[in-house]
Amino acid sequence: MKRTSLKDIAERVGVSTALVSYVLNNKKEGRISKSVAARIRETAEALNYRTNQIAKGLKTSKTMTIGLVLADISNPFSSAVARVIEDAANELQYTVLFGSADENPDRFRRLVDIFRDRQVDGLILLPPNGVGEDIRRLYAQRVPFVQFDRYYPASPGNVVALDNFAAARDATSLLLSKGRQRIGLIAFESQLYHLHQRKLGYQQAHLQLGLTPDPSLIAELGVHQLERTVPAAIDNLISKGVDGLFFVSNTLSAIALRHLNQLPIRVPDDLSVVSFDENELLDLFYAPLTYVSQPLEAMGQKALELLLACMENPQQISRIHFPATLVKRRSA
Amino acid sequence: MKRTSLKDIAERVGVSTALVSYVLNNKKEGRISKSVAARIRETAEALNYRTNQIAKGLKTSKTMTIGLVLADISNPFSSAVARVIEDAANELQYTVLFGSADENPDRFRRLVDIFRDRQVDGLILLPPNGVGEDIRRLYAQRVPFVQFDRYYPASPGNVVALDNFAAARDATSLLLSKGRQRIGLIAFESQLYHLHQRKLGYQQAHLQLGLTPDPSLIAELGVHQLERTVPAAIDNLISKGVDGLFFVSNTLSAIALRHLNQLPIRVPDDLSVVSFDENELLDLFYAPLTYVSQPLEAMGQKALELLLACMENPQQISRIHFPATLVKRRSA
DNA sequence: ATTACTTGTTTAAACGATTAAACAAATTGA
DNA sequence: TCAATTTGTTTAATCGTTTAAACAAGTAAT
């Protein structure tokens, strides 16, 4: 069954499509006769008219669609992001196209292209490693976009992210304040700026107490085979006598908890633990984990806000950093 | 910067847009002169041409987009579904529009309308309670769609789902085969067919051993305030002397595990436990949970396959039920 | 040499909307 | 009464593609 178009309504009522369009969009407010307007609205209702957004988009070059490129949808953090972005977008009558780059630069580029081919009005990006040049190009081409959670500081463009440095510093400080002396850091060898900031925060926490962080207590893992490398790193750090551990992501802590669960070592008595980001898992661990929490809803709304501003005026860009909250529970 | 259009290329090369379109779509294979075709391709490349899918979609009424309405994106099961659908769709050059109905029929209807306004080529739906009539209407209107995971058996249309009856029956049978006599069922009071099937499967497992399931061991909870009602239901069942528990969803078991974790009762010695669907949580519990696993990738691919078939020919519909796998671990 | 294909390309309508500009009729003002 | 204005509506171009049909020029066949 073909959908009804403006033309169908126009024919039925005996007017031009222009008039129908004006009525249905509440344009030319004062000038249209009440009676015709009413008849148009009635038949639109009767024929169950809904505007064809594709046609409208072609004419107006506004598709009311935004593209969301997630880093890796299998990470629960991604679905949390998806949810807040979708909510914020719907609020503003936008629909979200989405895809997951799976931390792969080629997939990232492909998704961005696909979304642009579909004329999205803007993009929200969680870019993987190695796409700094692409971000720069997007900016040069005046494509409205916002980097979310992670970003390339050397490339221009809007950013909504956590203050990762402060968050990591505070998390580490908490461990230090509990009298922990040798704090292991489980991090990624990734070049991503936000992850780097977390390492720096960890170091800063030591420095500001006049301590020198021991580099041998920092494990930097590749993204692959974490199931194997995380437990190994933990064992190694424990053999070096750590009394605290800080995980820079929920992926790491999820695997870590499974391992710690089987170890004779006791949390928090023998070992204090702090993690980044939420995860149901953290609750179930025998010592509910202390973690760094991100104000995601606020961040999502802000991202949409910046995106809309940037659609209006591509020059105007900002970088917003939100403060994290340290949720203190039993593990530290 | 305006994107380059067919017209730009046509002007540059000095031919009509029609010819450019033919070349770029590899139509009229034999008839176009090699040299012109080459020049067109070169300039397309040089000008970085990418086809405007909105315009193409308007003309061809194929947008190469499918709409995915999730039940509730905050459930990890939803993100797993999102992932497999996105993968299957990308494989076939489709892009996925998505939204979460949050188990709310109005939101569901709104999302379906929005997607249809955007002329999606088809829909994949995880419908909430109370939209059977809407499903029926979609079918009557020849909108291509596939119900995924959950469905309305009384409404016509494609279905890709688990064989929930058999899965629940087998899970319960496992508990019975371990000598458990009083098996509690933690379920939803939902009218959703797939959840109902799980209850029936639980009963069937008893019946086929000549046992009569005790109705007082079945807890049917409302979807809200599970954080409160699940622990209460567990306490109640334990007071009734259950020695086995079957949770019909991962949401239930996640909350349950947190509670069981604090109880003096030991799993599996005092209580055997089986859950539906995967969840990292299930691994971390001191007795890794035995659970019902769905072949999601295969299901996602099948869903896309049915959807495409149904776009070709809206009459042709099928209902496919996949068998579950019971992953046996320590909890039962 | 005329007809009949082939080959290579263009014309023009269409998809379903939007919107500036034109138009006709009714109303107002002087 | 006639010009000026207001009111209500239509015309027609446009967005960027696709595609059937028309066309012109060249080649082959009779």
CA of A59 to C1' of C7 (A): 37
Q: Specify the pTM.
A: 0.93
Question: Considering only CA atoms, which residue is closest to the C1' of nucleotide D16?
Answer: B55
CB atoms B1 and A97 under 8 Å: no
**Tokens 């977390």 correspond to what residue?**
A198
CA distance B262 to chain A (A): 9
Residue whose pair of structure tokens reads 């019971």 in the numeric block: B326
Q: How far is CA B52 from CA A114, A228, B57, in A?
A: 10, 46, 8
Whether B142 sits with its Cβ under 7 A from any strand C atom: the answer reads no
| Topology match between the domains B6-51 and B164-293 | no
CA distances from B302 to A70, B8, B295, B323 (A): 24, 41, 11, 13
Distance, in Å, from the CA atom of A248 to the CA atom of A292, rounded to the nearest integer, reads: 9
B164-293 to CATH, choices 1.20.58.220, 3.20.20.70, 1.10.600.10, 3.40.50.2300:
3.40.50.2300
Taking the Cβ of residue A106 and every Cβ of chain B, the question of whether any pair is shorter than 8 Å is answered with: no
pLDDT higher than 70, residue A1:
no
**B210 burial level (CB within 10 Å; 0-12, 13-18, 19+):** exposed
ω into B268 cis (within 30 of 0): yes
The first and second tokens of residue B33, run together, are: 């002169």
Residue of B nearest to A61 (CA): B54
Residues A299-321: tens digit of each pLDDT:
999 999 999 999 998 888 999 99
Distance CA B255, CA B262 (A): 12
B201's CB contacts (< 8 A; 6+ apart) are B164, B165, B166, B167, B168, B169, B170, B171, B172
In strand D, the nucleotides that come within 7 Å of a protein beta carbon are 7-12, 14-21
Which residue from A149, A196, A167, A194 is spatially nearest to A274, judged by alpha carbons? Answer: A167
Architecture, CATH, for domain B60-162+296-323: 3-Layer(aba) Sandwich (3.40)
> Strand, coil or helix: what is A162?
strand
Q: Output the distance from B59 CA to D25 C1' rounded to whole Å.
A: 32
* CB–CB contact A100 B118 (8 Å): no
Report residues 17-36 of B contacting strand C, contact meaning Cβ closer than 7 Å. 17-19, 22, 28, 30-33, 36
Which chain A residue's Cα is nearest to B61?
Answer: A54
The reported pLDDT for the residue numbered B237 is 97
- Tell me the C-alpha distance between A264 and A253, whole Å: 18
> Cα–Cα distance between B83 and A74 in angstroms, integer?
7
Residue A16: nearest nucleotide (C-alpha to C1'): D10
pLDDT tens digits, A56-94 = 999 999 999 999 999 998 888 999 999 999 999 999 999
Other C-beta atoms within 10 Å of B279: how many? 24
Alpha helices (H) in B14-156, listed in sequence order: 17-24, 34-46, 53-60, 76-91, 105-117, 132-140
Tokens 């490398």 locate to A229
Per-residue pLDDT, B1 = 67
- Measured between CB atoms, does A178 come within 8 Å of chain B? no
**Peptide bond just before A268 cis, omega within 30 deg:** yes
Residues of chain A numbered 112-141 and touching chain B (CB < 8 Å): 113-119, 141
Determine whether the distance from the CB of A18 to the nearest atom of strand C is below 7 Å: yes
Chain A residues with beta carbon closer than 8 angstroms to that of B90? 99
Alpha-carbon span A155 to B272, nearest angstrom: 55
Cα distance between the two ends of chain B: 63
> CA-CA distance, B255 to B226, in Å (whole number)?
8
SS3 sequence, A118-154?
A: CCCCEEEECCCCCCHHHHHHHHHCCCCEEEECCCCCC
Question: Chain B: nearest CA to A67, how far in angstroms?
Answer: 9
Residues 36-65 of B with CB under 8 A from A: 50-55, 57-58, 63, 65
Q: Between β-strands B95-100 and B244-247, what pairing exists: parallel, antiparallel or unpaired?
A: unpaired
Cα distance from N-terminal residue to C-terminal residue, chain A: 63
Q: Judge contact between B135 and B127, C-beta under 8 A.
A: yes
- Alpha-carbon gap, residue A302 to A299, rounded angstroms: 5
* Average predicted confidence (pLDDT) for chain A: 95
In eight-state DSSP terms, residue B288 is P
Q: Does A331 touch chain B (CB under 8 A)?
A: no
Q: What mean pLDDT is predicted for residues A83-107?
A: 94
A280 interface with B at CB cutoff 8 Å: yes
Query: Given an 8 Å threshold on Cβ–Cβ distance, is A86 in contact with B99?
Result: yes
B92 touches chain A (CB under 8 A): no
Residue B2, chain A, CB below 8 Å: the answer is: no
- Considering only the beta carbons, identify the residue of A58, A86, A283 that sits closest to B100: A86
pLDDT band for position A262 (cuts 50, 70, 90): confident
The contacts of residue A271 (CB under 8 Å, 6+ apart) are A238, A242, A243, A244, A245, A260, A265
Indicate yes or no: CB of A73 within 8 angstroms of CB of B51. Answer: no
Residue with the two structure tokens 């908490």: A174
Q: Indicate yes or no: strand C within 7 A of the C-beta of B117.
A: no
Q: Where are the domains of chain A?
A: 6-51, 60-162+296-323, 164-293
| Through-space separation of residue A31 CA and nucleotide C28 C1' in angstroms | 17
Alpha carbon distance B296, B294 (integer Å): 5
Residues A115 and A66: their CA atoms lie apart, in Å, by 8
Judged against a pLDDT cut of 70, whether residue A286 lies above it is answered with yes
Q: Which chain B residues touch A54 with a CB distance below 8 Å?
A: 54, 57-58, 63, 118-119
Q: Determine the 3-state secondary structure of A294 from DSSP.
A: coil
Nearest CA in chain B to A59: B55
Domain B6-51 annotated CATH 1.10.10:
no
- Interface A-B, measured as beta-carbon pairs within 8 A, has a size of 123
Question: Which nt sits closest to A9, CA to C1'?
Answer: C16
Residue of B nearest to A107 (CA): B90
Distance (Å, rounded) from C-alpha B223 to C-alpha B237? 19
Distance from CA of A211 to the nearest CA of B (A): 35
Q: Which residue has the tokens 């688990």?
A: B162
Burial class of residue A12 in the structure, from the number of CB atoms within 10 Å of its CB (0-12 exposed, 13-18 middle, 19+ buried): middle
pLDDT tens track, chain B, 332 positions: 689 999 999 999 999 999 999 999 999 888 899 999 999 999 999 999 999 999 999 999 999 999 999 999 888 899 999 999 999 999 999 999 999 999 999 999 999 999 999 999 999 999 999 999 999 999 999 999 999 999 999 999 999 999 999 999 999 999 999 999 999 999 999 999 999 999 999 999 999 999 999 999 999 999 889 999 999 999 999 999 999 999 999 999 999 998 998 899 999 999 999 999 988 888 888 899 999 999 999 999 999 999 999 999 888 899 999 999 999 999 98
Q: What would the pLDDT profile of A22-40 be if each residue is shown by its tens digit? A: 999 999 888 899 999 999 9
